[in-house]
Amino acid sequence: MARPVVRLTIRGVLARKFRILLTTLAVVSGVAFVSGAFILTDSVKKSINDLFAVLSEGIDLEVRSVVAFGDPARADRDPIPAELVDSIAAVDGVRLAEGNLLRAATVIKSDGEPLATSGPSFGIAWTGPDGLDGRTLIEGRAATADSEVTLDKSSARRAGHEIGDVITIVGPKGKGDFTLVGLTGTGDTDGGGGASIAAFDPATADAFLGANGLVDSIYIAITDDASLTTVQDELNSVLPSNVEVITGEQSAQETAGAINDIIGIFGNVLLGFAAVSLFVSAFLIFNTFAIIVSQRLRELALLRAVGASVRQIRSMIIGESLIVSVLATVLGIFAGMGVAVGIVALFNATGAAFPSASLIVSFRTVLVSILVGVGVTVAAAIIPALRAGRIPPVAAMRPELGFSALQKNRRLVVGSAVFGLGLLAFASGIAVQPGGAAGTLGLAGLGAVLLFLGIASLSTTVAAPASRLISRLLPLPFFPMTRSVAGRLGSRNAQRTPRRTASTASALMIGLALVSTVAVIASSIQKTFRDQISTSVSADFFITNGPANFQGLPPSFAERLAELPELSAVSPFRGADVLVNGDPKEVGAVRGSAFGELVDLDLLDGSVESLDDGRILLHRDPATDYGVGVGDELTITWQNGTESVVQVGGIYADSTIAGNWLVGLDLLASVSTAEPVDFFIGAKIADGVEIPVARAAVESIAEDFPSAEVQDQAEFQQSQEDQIDQLLTIIYGLLAISIAIAVLGIANTMALSVFERTREFGLLRAVGMSKRVLKRSIRWEAIIVAVFGASLGVVVGVPLGAAVASVLPDTVITTIVVPYGTIVNILIAAVVVGIVAAIGPARRAAKLDVLQSISSN
C-alpha cells in the first residue's frame, strides 16, 4: 500500500527539482547555523582544554592566594611574595618551584601603533622552555638579560618584528625597549591562544611589570617518587593561611572553563540567529508547499478519484517535505562545518590563533540538526498537507470546486487568537521577567514567535488593500505605478492571491521587524547616553585604553596625569567585586577630591570628598534597600577575604557613570594588593589653561602609553556610539541571512506564479504586450510584496523595540527614539529586494513562447 505513495512522492520531488532545491537551500542555512554553532563550540572548547592541558602538563601543584567569593578563574587575586618560592623549594618532594607573573603589556608594532589582538596582551616572567610553563621555543632563545624579550611567533609576525630587532613594549609603568631574542609558541600553535605574549626573564619581569617582588602564583613540580597529596598537605602546613595549594589539573580546568563560558555564549548567539533564519525558512517551505498543492489540484483530485485515500494524499505531501528536510539536514551539517571553519579563520585573521583542532561533529550535533531540520520542514508542510487532503475527488473534473476547498479555513479566528497569545506572552515576558534572564528571553521569544505567526495569518486580510495602497504610493505618489499598464497588472496580481502575497511578505517581515526592533533599542541607548553625558559629565578629557585593548589602563597613567599643572582634577575609575552586607556588588573606586568635579553625581546628602576619608557613597536606590543614611555603617567583604566596616559618606541620585557604589582609591589600595587597572580616567582643565595646551600636556604623557586614547567629551561620546554601531553592524549582518532567505522566498513565489500564469502571459504577449512591459509588471508585483513585508516589519518591529526599551533600566534608556532614517532605509531596501527577487521569474516569463503558452493549460 505504501509503495505507490512512495513512488508518487519521489516522482513528485524529481518533477520539481528546481523548486525543491530552492526550498532545501532555505532550510540548509538554518541547519548550518545550528550545527555550525555546535561544531564550533565543541571543537574550540576541546582544543582550548587541550591547550591548557599542554600548558600545565609539567605543573603538578600551584600555590596562590585565596579568594573569599567569586569565580575562581576570574577573581582578582592578591599576588603572593616571590620569596615563598624558596620555602616551597625546600619542602620534601618538590623538584622545582617557579614564580608565575602575568601582567598587561602591549607590543608596539614596527609602524609605531599598538598591536591589536582578539585576546589580552600579556607580559610574563619566563625561565625558558625547561621551566614549568608549557610555552615552547620556536626560534632563537629565551630572554636572559634585562634588555631582552621573546614574543609569541604569531604576534611577532603581525607586528612586523624579527629576531634581533629592538622593539617597544608598554608595561604597567610605561614604555621599555627590548631586543627580540626568541619566538615562542603555545602547545603546537605559534601564537598565544588569542593573546600576545611578551616573555621576560623573572628579574626583568618583576621590574618592568612593576611586580615589586610579588608573583601571581607559584608553579610546582614534584619529584618522581613523591606523592601529590603528601606534598600538597606538607605545603599547606608550611605556607601562610592566606594562600592555597591546588593541583595543576584543577588550575587548568578553571582557566579553560572561564574561556569555555565565553565560547558558549558566542555559540548561543549563533543559535539565536539560527532560530531566526529557521523561522523564516519555515515560511518559505510553507509557501512553496501551499503553492505546489494548489498547482497540483487536478492531479491530487484525480488520485482521489481513482481511489487514493485522504491519508495517502497527506502522506505524499509530508513525504515530499521529508525528502527536502533530509537533504537539507545532510547538506546543513556539512555547511555547518564550513561555518565553523570560516568563523575560526575569521578570528585567526584578527590574530586569535585558535589552536588547530580537528572539527568535532558530535552525536548531539547531528541529532539536534536532524531534529531541527526535519522538524521545521515537516511542521511547515503540515498545513499544506492537511489542505491537500481536503481536495474532493470531483475537482478532477471541476477544479473550481477544489479551490474553494483549499480556501476554507478559520484564519481570522486562529490568527487573532495566536496574536493575542503572543502579545500576552511577550508583554508578561518583558514586564514580569519570570525565571531571570532565561525565563524572560524564553517567554518574550515565544511571544515574539506567536506574534509573528499571528500577524502573518492576519496580514492576509490586509494584503489586498495594502497592495492597492502601495501601488498608489510607489514609485511616487504623484506618479503612481497604477498609471502604467505594467504597474496596474503587477498591482492586480499582488491583490489577487492575498494569501500568497501575505505569507511571502511575512517571511521578509520577520527579518526586518527584528532589524527595526534592534534599531529602536540602539538609537534609544545612544540618545540616552548622549543626554547623560551632557548632563552628568563635566570632565574635559576621557582617557581609555582604546578599542584595540580591553584590559584597562595601568594606574601609573592617572598618577602622572594628576601631577600636571594644566589639569585641576584627575580621577581614575577602577572596579572591584565585593560583598556588601553579604550581597555580591560591584563597587567603583575613585579619587574623592576630584571625582565630584568630573561627574555630576546629583548628591542628595554628604560629600564626595568623604571618599578620601575611607567612606562609601551609594545611590539612593540601594540606600533605600539597605535602609542606610549618611553616618550609618555597611560591612564590605573584599575578594581576598578582608572585611571592612565602612561609614556611609553620601547618597547620590545619578548613577549613569558612577554605578550604585563608590569608594575611595585609598580604601581599595589598603585592603587589596591585587594589580589594579583603570577602566577610564577623567580629567578637568585647570582655570585659565587653553584647551590645546592642556591637551598637548595630556598627550605628552599618553606617548608612554601608546594604546591609550585621549578624547574630549564629543570624541568620547562618538567612540561609545561607534561601539554600539559596530555591534549593530554585526547583528544586521547576521539578520541579513534571514532576509536573504526571504528574498529567496519572494523569488520562489514569483517563479511559481509565473508558471501558473503561463497561459495568461501568452495571451498578453499575443495581444501585443512587449517583453519589457511583461517583465516590468512582474517586477512591480515583487516590489509590492517586498514593500508590504517591510511595512509589516516596521509596524511590528518598532513597537516591539519601544516595548523592550521601556522596560530597560533608566541608566540604559530614558528616552525612546524611533530611528526614522533606518525605517526609510528599510523601505528603500525592500524595493531593491523586490527588484532582485524578480530578476529570475521575469526573465523566465519573457522567455515563454507565445503560441505554446496559449495552448497550455
Nearer to other proteins, 15 or 431 (CB): 15
Q: Looking at residues 573 to 592 of the shown chain, list those that interact with other proteins (rule: CB under 8 A).
A: none
CB atoms within 10 A of CB 434: 12
Q: CA-to-CA distance for 647 and 606, rounded, in angstroms?
A: 11
Could you tell me the CA-to-CA distances from 126 to 123, 195, 202, 218, 793 in Å, in that order? 10, 16, 6, 12, 57
* Segment interacting with other proteins, rule: CB under 8 A, options 1-9, 72-80, 468-476, 780-788: 1-9
Place of cell 578620601: 612
Q: With binding defined as CB under 8 A, does residue 8 bind other proteins?
A: yes
Q: With binding defined as CB under 8 A, does residue 14 bind other proteins?
A: yes
At 614, the amino acid letter reads G
Q: CA-to-CA distance for 234 and 688, rounded, in angstroms?
A: 65
Nearer to other proteins, 305 or 835 (CB): 305
Q: In angstroms, give the least distance from the CB of 447 to other proteins.
A: 39
Q: With binding defined as CB under 8 A, does residue 4 bind other proteins?
A: yes
Q: With binding defined as CB under 8 A, does residue 483 bind other proteins?
A: no
Among 140, 393, 480, 622, binds other proteins (CB under 8 A): 393
Q: With binding defined as CB under 8 A, does residue 544 bind other proteins?
A: no
| Cis peptide leading into residue 475 (ω within 30°) | yes
Site string for other proteins, 274-303 (x = CB under 8 A): ------------------------xx--xx
Q: CA-to-CA distance for 241 and 674, rounded, in angstroms?
A: 17
Nearer to other proteins, 2 or 766 (CB): 2
DSSP secondary structure letter of residue 192: B
Q: CA-to-CA distance for 716 and 722, rounded, in angstroms?
A: 10
Nearer to other proteins, 19 or 153 (CB): 19
Q: Long-range contacts: 359-368, Cβ < 8 Å, 24+?
A: 359/39, 359/43, 360/39, 360/42, 360/43, 360/46, 361/35, 361/39, 361/333, 361/337, 362/38, 362/42, 364/38, 365/35, 365/38, 365/39, 365/42, 365/333, 365/336, 366/35, 366/333, 368/34, 368/35, 368/38
Q: With binding defined as CB under 8 A, does residue 17 bind other proteins?
A: no
Our measurement of the distance from residue 114's CA atom to the centroid of its chain's CA atoms, rounded to an integer in Å, reads: 26
C-alpha dihedral (699, 704, 705, 708), degrees to nearest 10: 10
Q: In angstroms, give the least distance from the CB of 330 to other proteins.
A: 24
Nearer to other proteins, 785 or 848 (CB): 848
Nearer to other proteins, 8 or 658 (CB): 8
Q: Report yes or no: 240 and 63 within 8 Å, Cβ to Cβ.
A: no
Q: In angstroms, give the least distance from the CB of 309 to other proteins.
A: 5
Q: Looking at residues 394 to 433 of the shown chain, list those that interact with other proteins (rule: CB under 8 A).
A: 394, 396-397
Runs of H (alpha helix) within 757-819: 758-766, 771-807
At 232, the amino acid letter reads Q
Phi/psi of residue 816, nearest 5 degrees: -95, 125
* Segment interacting with other proteins, rule: CB under 8 A, options 229-237, 393-401, 447-455, 614-622: 393-401
Among 112, 307, 582, 688, binds other proteins (CB under 8 A): 307
Q: With binding defined as CB under 8 A, does residue 154 bind other proteins?
A: no
Nearer to other proteins, 302 or 341 (CB): 302
Among 237, 306, 358, 688, binds other proteins (CB under 8 A): 306
Q: In angstroms, give the least distance from the CB of 16 to other proteins.
A: 9
* Segment interacting with other proteins, rule: CB under 8 A, options 7-15, 224-232, 645-653, 765-773: 7-15
Q: With binding defined as CB under 8 A, does residue 392 bind other proteins?
A: yes
# binding residues, other proteins (CB under 8 A): 27
Nearer to other proteins, 312 or 568 (CB): 312
Among 308, 368, 785, 796, binds other proteins (CB under 8 A): 308
Q: With binding defined as CB under 8 A, does residue 3 bind other proteins?
A: yes
Could you tell me the CA-to-CA distances from 626 to 576, 581, 649, 662, 663 in Å, in that order? 20, 9, 15, 15, 17
C-alpha cell at 466: 495594502
Nearer to other proteins, 8 or 54 (CB): 8
Q: Report yes or no: 357 and 189 within 8 Å, Cβ to Cβ.
A: no
C-alpha cell at 738: 534571514
Nearer to other proteins, 88 or 308 (CB): 308
- Annotate 325-348 with three-state secondary structure: HHHHHHHHHHHHHHHHHHHHHHHH
Q: In angstroms, give the least distance from the CB of 384 to other proteins.
A: 18
Q: In angstroms, give the least distance from the CB of 15 to other proteins.
A: 5
Residues that bind other proteins (CB under 8 A): 1, 3-4, 7-8, 11-12, 14-15, 298-299, 302-310, 312, 392-394, 396-397, 857
